[in-house]
A and B are shown apart, each in its own frame.
Chain A
Amino acid sequence: MKFPAFSYAVPATVAEALELLAADEDARPLAGGQTLLPILALRMASPGCLVDLSPLSELKNIVFEDQTLKIGAMVTFAQLARATAHQANFPLIYLALKHVAHVAIRNRGTIGGSLAYADAAAEMPVVVCALNAIMVIAGVGGARRVAAADFFTGHFSTAIERRELLTQIEFPISDHTWAFEEVSRRPGDFALVMAATGLRMRDGQCAEARIALGCVADRPLRAPAAEAFLSGKQITEETAAEAGQIATSDLKSHADIHASAEYRRKVGSTLIKRALLRAAVEPRL
């Protein structure tokens, strides 16, 4: 459908954007529009005012400093994919990027927009959980920092309050080896299930494992029991499969037109196993 009517504001700075959001209860930020505009077209929401963030160049920087990759919320997936200098230090981001949407969507869709909408079938929420990223959220009174573990609160829901703006995502560097696995109907489609795994090995044994799953619940999940299980173990077909089982045995997955809950659990378990075996043979930094 055509978009419902809205008033339209173009701030010149983040401060102005925050003022606009604070002044109007019914205002919403417009980032790349690849989630919000379909939401408008489907009449799932009709905000009274859109605050267009596209001119805010201060939100379009990618900077590596203090062992941290700081990505502005308005960085598009295409821009991030072109910033290959960070690929060696942050392989998981780039592995996951290969699965993010279709080329035309990647050219406008932003990392901040994807995280702020927190679609359970989107890749970036899983990535920030696996990498223990920090979301920087600005408000009129100043900025606050929210860990990925506390950021996602449910289906299409996050810790961002009305009148606030996600401005930056901070990824601490890690010395894990990483793998990302996804099943979707076509390349670029929303995931049916996805898994990200990271391994820090010492003398052939797992010193720390990270396992994150996407599209199996209303938000991205870490699998602490499976991560603990792997500690001190070698990564073999058996231990990797066991970790997949532990991570998915209690899952209350959703069923939809694309996949049953049982299917999601089984595929999730298999993807964790595959990703662990792949991460185990990745060369370390």
Chain B
Amino acid sequence: MKKTAVDELLLVNTTVNGRAYSFAIEPRISLADTLRYELGLTGTKVGCEHGVCGACTVLVDGEPMRSCLMLGVQAEGRTIQTVEGLASGLKLHPLQESFKRHHALQCGFCSAGMLATALALLRDNPTPTRTEVREIISGNLCRCTGYETIVDAICDTQVAEFMRGEQRG
């Protein structure tokens, strides 16, 4: 059993975007703020801070989760992927390219969360129907209301081809 006092820092070892990190934080700090302030990964956006908007969605051990509804200390031993981990160097991920091609982002605030949610869907099902896509992103709000182009981008055939290749690979 381990117990820390209020304001006491707790050591956390975690892997984010393939890189190992070790840092000490207060238990009250959310994973979203840990990513942004402790690790400088500001691609993850914080919108409502209580689990409604989906902007802060990241992949934890491959599954989409709200980083505002997780404590930073709960990242211990986990593998996290944020939007910064999608591109290979300067080469964007095909889903990011598709978002660009379909104008699926306006202000961009929801994009990181949309990408994380969509990637997990496409990994299991590279060719979802538009209805399935709408259902899966129903937990991610776009304040520019640009949903149609976001659905277009996720249903893109080039993305489907790439994700099928990933499944086989």
Contacts and interface: CB of A to CB of B under 8 A. Distances in A.
Nearest to B73: A8
B27 A104 contact: no
Contact of A10 (B1, B29, B120): B1
Contacts of A42: 50
Chain A interface, DSSP helix/strand/loop, else mixed: loop
Contact of A16 (B1, B27, B51, B68): B1
A104 B49 contact: no
Contacts of A285: none
A38 B28 contact: no
Q: Which of A41, A42, A102, A189 has the most CB of B within 10 A?
A: A102
Contacts of B135: 187-188
Interface secondary structure of B, over-half rule: mixed
A136 to B, nearest CB: 22
A50 B27 contact: yes
A15 to B, nearest CB: 10
B126 interface: no
Contact of B139 (A8, A48, A104): A104
A102 B134 CA distance: 11
A5 B26 contact: yes
Contacts of B121: 103
Interface residues of B, number: 40
A103 B27 contact: no
Contact of A33 (B63, B70, B134): B70
A56 B140 CA distance: 30
A104 B28 contact: no
Contact of B1 (A11, A37, A105): A11
Interface residues of A, number: 37
Contacts of A54: 74
A6 B27 contact: yes
Contact of A7 (B1, B4, B49, B65): B4
A54 B140 CA distance: 25
Interface in A190-216: none
A52 B2 CA distance: 10
Given A34-B51, A101-B139, A6 B69 contact: no
B65 A102 contact: no
A34 B134 CA distance: 22
A23 to B, nearest CB: 10
Interface string B131-157: 000111011100000000000000000
B1 A20 contact: yes
A38 B120 contact: no
B28 A4 contact: yes
A53 to B, nearest CB: 11
State the 5 A-B residue pairs at the shortest beta-carbon distance, nearest first.
A102-B139, A8-B27, A9-B3, A38-B50, A41-B50
Given A103-B117, A108-B66, 13 more contacts: A3-B28, A3-B30, A6-B28, A8-B27, A9-B4, A20-B1, A20-B3, A34-B51, A50-B27, A104-B57, A104-B117, A105-B139, A108-B70
